[in-house]
Every structure is written in structure tokens, then in C-alpha cells.
Chain A
Amino acid sequence: MRYVLHRILATLPVMAVVAVFVFSLLHLSPGDPAAIIAGEFASPAEIARVRVSLGLDQPLHTQFLVWVTRLAQGDFGTSIFSDIPVTRMILQRVEPTLSLTFLSMLITISVAVPLGAIAAWKANSIIDRLVMALAVFGFSFPVFVIGYLLMFPFAIWTDLLPVQGYVSLFEDPARWLRHLVLPSISVSLVFIALIARMTRASMLEVLSQDYVRTAHAKGLPDSKVLFKHALQNASVPIVTAIGIGVALVIGGVVVTETVFAIPGLGRLTVDSILRRDYPVIQAIVLVFSFAYVLINLLIDLSYKLLDPRIRY
């Protein structure tokens, strides 16, 4: 219990650093922040309007305090482009992004862990080499390339799956799934490469242990030894890698939403870059980072469930 508290408290400085960083980005960059946000072709009057509306005419520490106080209340400010509260914009876009992230994680875990385990079990065999070669390819193909390559056989040459777009889960679950198949496979490929490698490495270590030999010797079937005895003991580093790899998934989701025209947070990011809508970009970076930190916090706290020997 003390560990849990300690670990939760330890995320606070990380989040504080992220917040200070995101806040100071705008002020550390050379030039007048109001002019940067207003864009190259803004008139002095427009720049002045931006400066007042964002409170950039206040002293820096006042700006920071106001910003943090609002942040704590869930207020991310107002979009410069559309005058809509950023919090509302983000909430409107959260469902597609969460769906895509969730499905990608699901595919990754159900594909990568067995692949890595089998590769370790048959170490140095053809299967092992094939899995490892796949992993290197997975690291080398950018996520949008995979997305475009998948579109051809499944959506362009045939009508098996839709090319682009998104349908809400609450509207039509079947069409929701059909729209997300290709995007989530694209996102998960890099992640599969990472987790398969990690699973293999961690399983190799466990498979050389005495209790695995004992399990074999007492006549347990291979699958039981592999997936029950070995995998359970190899799970802590694998789960850690999954947590760290969530950063890859987030990056992948942002890109894939553009490839498949999914109206989620990634698409919002890209639109905001083009519109130079800085409050929105700031908010999205914060939301994703906090989500990432929270996921890793939960994973840290789950170690005890995975391995009862761990005592805090």
C-alpha cells in the first residue's frame, strides 16, 4: 500500500515537467508568441487580438498560474480557429481514437505474445528466424506505408472493407469494426515487432530455468509448459514493454487517422497544425502524455498481480 501511494506520487513530478514543458514551448521559441500563433500573414491588429485573447500580455508567471489553474479544472482554453472550448473539441473526438487504440492493443497482444513465445521455444529454427525477420521489417515500414499497402488488396481491388471513414460504435457496431480493421492492423505492426522481440528475449531466459525442465520431465504437454509455466514467469518484462510501447501506438494512431480519414484526435492534431491552432495542439500533447503516464502507472501497479513474489 505504501508502494502504491509512493508510485502514484512519483508520477506527479513527471506530469509537472510535462506541463511546464508544454507551457514553455510557446515562450521558449524565438520570436513573439502572438505573432507565431497569428501566422505569417497576420496584420498587427490581428496579432494584438491574439495577444489579448490568449492573455499573452500578462507577465509570464501570471500566465502560467492561470493556465495551470484552468488545467486543473479540465479547461484547456479556447480554440483560436473556431472559438470552441478545446475540452469540448477533444471530447467530441475521443471515441474513434480510443476505439483504434484499444483494437490495436488487442491485436498486438494476441498476435505478438504467442509469436514471441513460439520463436523462443523453437529458438534458432526457421520459425524463429521468420518471426525475427518480420520484427525487423515491422520496425522499418512507417505506419502510413503499411496503411496504404493494406488498402489495395482489401479495399481498392476488392470491396471486402471500406477504404476510409469511421462509424460510431453506438451507431452500428458491425460497421464500426469493419472500418477499424485496416487502421488497427496498420498501427499494431510496429508494436507487434516490439512485443514479439521482447517476449522472445524474456521467454528465452525463463525457458532455460530448472522448473521448466522439471515441468517437461513430469510429462506436461509442451503447450502447457510454454504458456502456463514459462509465459507467466516471463510476463513482467513483457507487460513493461507493452506499457512503454504505448507511445508507439499513440504516434501510430495520430498518423493512421490521417491515412484512413478517421475523425479522431490525430486528425484534430493535423488540422490544428495547418490552422496553427496552438491551444488545441498543446491540449492534445498534454492529454496523450497524461494518458501514457497513467497507463504506465497502472502497469507498474499490476506487477504484484502478475508475480506474487514481488513485494513492495
Chain B
Amino acid sequence: MLLTREKDGALASRTVRDGRTGQFRAAAIRLARRNPVAASGVLLLTLVVLLAVFAPLAGTVDPDAISPIHRLRSPSLEHWFGTDSVGRDLYSRIVYGTRVSLLIGFSVAVLSTGIGFLIGLLAGFNRLADALLMRIMDGLMAVPPILLAIALMALSGASVGNVIMAITIAEVPRVTRLVRSVVLTLRDQPFVEAAHAAGTRGWRILFIHILPNTVAPLIVQATYVCASAMIIEAILSFLGAGAPPTVPSWGNIIAEGRTLFLVAPYIVIVPSLFLSVTVLAVNLLGDGMRDALDPRLANRM
């Protein structure tokens, strides 16, 4: 009796699981058919994330292992993407570089949407705070983001944490403006006025009527911020103002290859392509989500 029941339970749970994977597969197929652009973005991004997570298992060697005898080797079976000027395996450095780029892209996206969201909300609800905060944001936005990040990095010293901080500060004003404009438009909508008239408290209006409506544009914005953060990271490293040269970030690999460009162009080209494809994947995902979540945004952004 007990045995059969266990069996039944196992069977039941398996069918449930099958049902779930079946549903997931169906959803995936539906997404691919209705929105092939977003689906290809998701697919590419998944591959890149898997590469980052399983970097040690992806046929890599120690990315920092120096081997002067093997320096500047062209791509071969032993070194798939060749070696750099001190004989480090480029394939391994690029695969580990995926981790750095994704870490920076995702951290900046989360941090700047989080901070921008709070500041934008405050500005949207409080006139005094609005006047003050928006003057500061206008000032920050008057500095081109790359220069702002360069200035911050020039002072704070090379580290991955500082890169994340510098790019976050450069991205926050745009998120703030977006959130504020959404809040300001929503505040005057009839359904919010109706809620006011019905005696709903301020914080309840905020949580039930305003917050849910900021989610869609904010998610879309976060993907664009992520893409732009990965590009700015590479640019900072390229200019010598990014993560310390020992960190195998894509920008650092490209920066090291800069002086050897005519001798060994692959040192610049291969990581550049990795970077571009990853950024492209994130952008495709963002465009797909924008179209899916709110078609009206398509013309606004």
C-alpha cells in the first residue's frame, strides 16, 4: 500500500515536471515564433552566460599563466585564438573576460536602475526635491557619460568595483529622468485621481497604482543600461582608465593588443567580436521586451 502510494506520488510528480517542461518548451516556441528577435537575443545571451559560469570547464587554461617562449603565436589547435605578448592563452583570457564584462554590465544595470528609481520616485512626488534633484541630474547629464566615467576613474584608482561605481554614476541621471517622467504622467491619470477622490492614502496609490506601471519601462531601460555599461567598460580599459591591467577583461585584452595591432591583429579583433556579439544580444533582448511589454514605447525610445 505504502509502496504503491509512493510510486503514485513519484509518478504524479514526474507528470507535473513533464507538464512544466512541456509548458516551458511551448512558451519558448511561442516566443521564438512571435518575437524571433528577442528569442535570438535570449539564446545568444544564455550561451554567453553559460560560457562565463563554466569558464574553467570550457577547455581553458590559467588565463594568467605567462609563457614567454609561446608569445604572439597565431591561432592554432593548441591556442585557439593565439597568445598575447607575454604568451598567455588568448582563448582562456577571453572566456574569463566574459565573467568580468557580464559582472560589470549586470551590476551597473541593477545598481543604476535601483538608485535612479528611488531618486526618480522622490522627484516625481515631491516638488522641492524635484527642483533640487533635477538640477543636479541636469548637471550630471551635461557631462558626456564616457568623460564622466573617465574623470571618476582617474581619481578613484583602478579596480572592478570602481569601474562599476563610475559607470553607475554616469547612468543614474537617465534612469532618474525616465522614472520621474513616468510618475509625472501617471500622477495626472484619471484612475489615480479617482483613487485620490475615493480617499486612498498616498502610499497605497504609490504601491498599487504607480509602481506597477514603472516596471515595464524600467526593465527595458535596465537592458539598455547593461549594454551601454559593457561598452563603457571596454572603452575605459581601452583608454587605460578601467580595471587593473592584470584583470582579463575584454577591454584590457584589446588595450594590450593596441600597440601590436599591425603584427597580431587577432588580439584586438577576437575580443572585440565577443564584446559586440554580447552587447548585440542584450540589445536584441531589450528591443524584444520593449515591443512585448509596451508597443507604445517603441516610438518613444
Residues in A lying within 8 Å of B, measured CB to CB: 13-18, 20-22, 25-26, 29, 36, 136-137, 139-145, 148-149, 151-152, 156, 163, 201, 204-205, 247-248, 250-251, 254-255, 258-259, 269-270, 272-274, 276, 278, 281-282, 284-285, 288-289, 292-293
Q: Which residue from B145, B156, B239, B265 sits with its C-beta under 8 Å from A255?
A: B239
Q: Which residue from B147, B273, B284 sits with its C-beta under 8 Å from A254?
A: B147
- Cβ B145 vs Cβ A282 within 8 A: no
- Cβ A136 vs Cβ B283 within 8 A: yes
Hey, which chain A residues are within 8 Å of B155, CB to CB?
25-26, 29, 36, 278
- Cβ B234 vs Cβ A142 within 8 A: yes
- Cβ B143 vs Cβ A136 within 8 A: no
* A144-B235, A144-B238 known; A281 vs B272 contact (CB < 8 Å): no
Q: Which residue from A140, A258, A285 sits with its C-beta under 8 Å from B227?
A: A140
- Cβ A285 vs Cβ B151 within 8 A: yes
Separation of A152 and B269 alpha carbons in the complex (Å): 11
Separation of A292 and B146 alpha carbons in the complex (Å): 13
Chain A interface SS verdict (over half) = helix
Separation of A26 and B156 alpha carbons in the complex (Å): 9
Residue from B239, B241, B284, B300 with most neighbouring chain A CB atoms (10 Å): B239
- Cβ B231 vs Cβ A29 within 8 A: no
Separation of A151 and B157 alpha carbons in the complex (Å): 33
B299 within 8 A of A: yes
- Cβ A21 vs Cβ B139 within 8 A: yes
Hey, which chain A residues are within 8 Å of B148, CB to CB?
285
A13 nearest CB across to chain B (Å)? 6
B25 within 8 A of A: no
B275 within 8 A of A: yes
- Cβ B262 vs Cβ A15 within 8 A: no
Hey, which chain A residues are within 8 Å of B239, CB to CB?
254-255, 258, 269-270, 273
Using CB atoms, name the residue of chain A closest to B276.
Answer: A141
* A29-B156, A140-B283, A251-B145 known; A148 vs B272 contact (CB < 8 Å): yes
* A14-B138, A25-B155, A288-B147 known; A139 vs B283 contact (CB < 8 Å): yes
A23 nearest CB across to chain B (Å)? 11
Hey, which chain B residues are within 8 Å of A16, CB to CB?
139
- B145-163 at interface with A (beta carbon < 8 Å): 145-148, 150-157
- Cβ A273 vs Cβ B235 within 8 A: no
B54 nearest CB across to chain A (Å)? 24
B42 nearest CB across to chain A (Å)? 15
* A140-B279, A258-B239, A269-B150 known; A14 vs B272 contact (CB < 8 Å): no
8 cross-chain CB contacts under 8 A: A21-B139, A21-B140, A145-B276, A148-B265, A254-B239, A273-B240, A281-B154, A293-B142
- Cβ A17 vs Cβ B234 within 8 A: no
Using CB atoms, name the residue of chain B closest to A141.
Answer: B276
Using CB atoms, name the residue of chain A closest to B299.
Answer: A201
Hey, which chain B residues are within 8 Å of A201, CB to CB?
298-300
- Cβ A251 vs Cβ B235 within 8 A: yes
